[in-house]
Structure 1
């Protein structure tokens, strides 16, 4: 760090650099200018986000429901004279899709893993793809059989009926929210992150990882972006350095938001302390939550893809 002392104080190059970063970052996020300080590929993401390509089976109604808007608003924003759309057509849509409910089909729950494995083997004989999912509740591990996660309730009900026909009378359906952090999940765009978390005081970028600083000296979040389309591949959130109120900050809030974890284990953390790591796995995503050595405070949350 270079400093220059004068009668009235100290000229701090590091602080000036940060102030410059704040100005540049804010101007970039408003779309006013594009600068070459490592932000050019983010500008590309900003230009391309909020645009979807129509797929087979899409309708204006289904798209409006998915993105929390109306058919009339979609037609106005895209200058459509009718409800007719076609495969391959590009449409402007709101920046953040709504978090939909998942319907998870469970084919039994066991206190012994060996019994759960037997149930999975039986289901495979009936051509049902099922996996054992552990659940840690009240300091005890239970083994549940997951036989599919569906966005449509009717598909989950069909799967349940198939299980009943196969002789699985204790099958049932659970509703669950996809794993996400304040509405951001794997596949969200950079600007969706800014929309949900707010404009940072300043940002730092290294390769495909961007850190956002909101309060104090620590990064409130770090995201790894895809080199192909700039979407979020992995997200780390540090509640201590975030002004948001809807990010879980305590273990009890994590369980309230995401239910009981699949796995709980003891891990080493700072100053040779022992912390607790809670792991959630659902529909190809994994959420890791590290709890401080006080057994209460959330240190960080990490969301990533596991497929």
Structure 2
């Protein structure tokens, strides 16, 4: 055999294993050796060597390339341990967002795809390694949570327990304990997270009239509200609310429609004028109904206050609005109207009658709608009800003549105006005796 024939046979023998372990790829429009190398997780040099290609510019559409496929024991072992997914890059994707999606690092994706930099473009295909052993281990470690016994938060986008903690305000350590997963584990969109054990509905303890004897307000929230928030609203403590309403210490919230009793003495210590009036007003409004049905709001024991004589106090207050009195002050056996109704223009500015501090601003007392109560240094307290809007917050110090809100609709009337009340300590005054 000639030397030339021997060399030829040797070359063929050397090439046969490579060709046998190769895949054929047909070049498409827009392909580059780098893109093809990425697709098959090999280097550009390996493709050049397998196809005896020296110049990349000779790459043409329709050309067939032999793609070497590694079949070494080490590569087989790697394939056995690692599963692979193909991800097509979308507009707006970055390697960081893709890495988070699959629980990998940017470096792992770059190394796996033989990338020199982080540049990616829409339409690129990336090979994503999915470690089977790790995946299996994760599945085994993932707890089977009975979400029917939890208050559940569903992730609209992907995220971690840290994101859920920030969004819901639930402490991160509690979330980790409830869900038994690490705080940095990436969760896909739609994943459910247990944020609290579902509370058993507490039977409404406040139902009998005798249980409500010391109530000043029966508060009925229109939405789920925390006991702490109710306590702040009525200047009492959540502990006292639990005691009065026979609620266990585990109860932190009050459900919609669950009535809560607020102690008479608590309200009297801070804003008694509002509460006492509320009950008496309700009594007048519901007197006819109560003759035929059980009282929904039990009333405290009636205590008739003496009416103070404003003429002897030497105090003069500014009118809160300009208008005429359409319902005067009256406190007798027939009528209990401890303030005056002043008719005025709709949305007319309502002003503080004297310097003082706002001790209540809100709509928690339905009898008066939007209500502001101001305490003054001289022992007087003024009340402004039926407001359309409130411009001040509790704790605010206001000056005489300062706008605190706007006039709304008078009760049971199409006319606008406000309800105005004055008290000296706990004793009601006829506002007409102190207004100038």
Measured against the shorter chain, the TM-score band is under 0.3
Choose between structure 1 and 2 for higher RCO, CA contacts under 8 A separated by at least 6 residues.
1
Greater helix share, structure number:
2
Greater strand share, structure number:
1
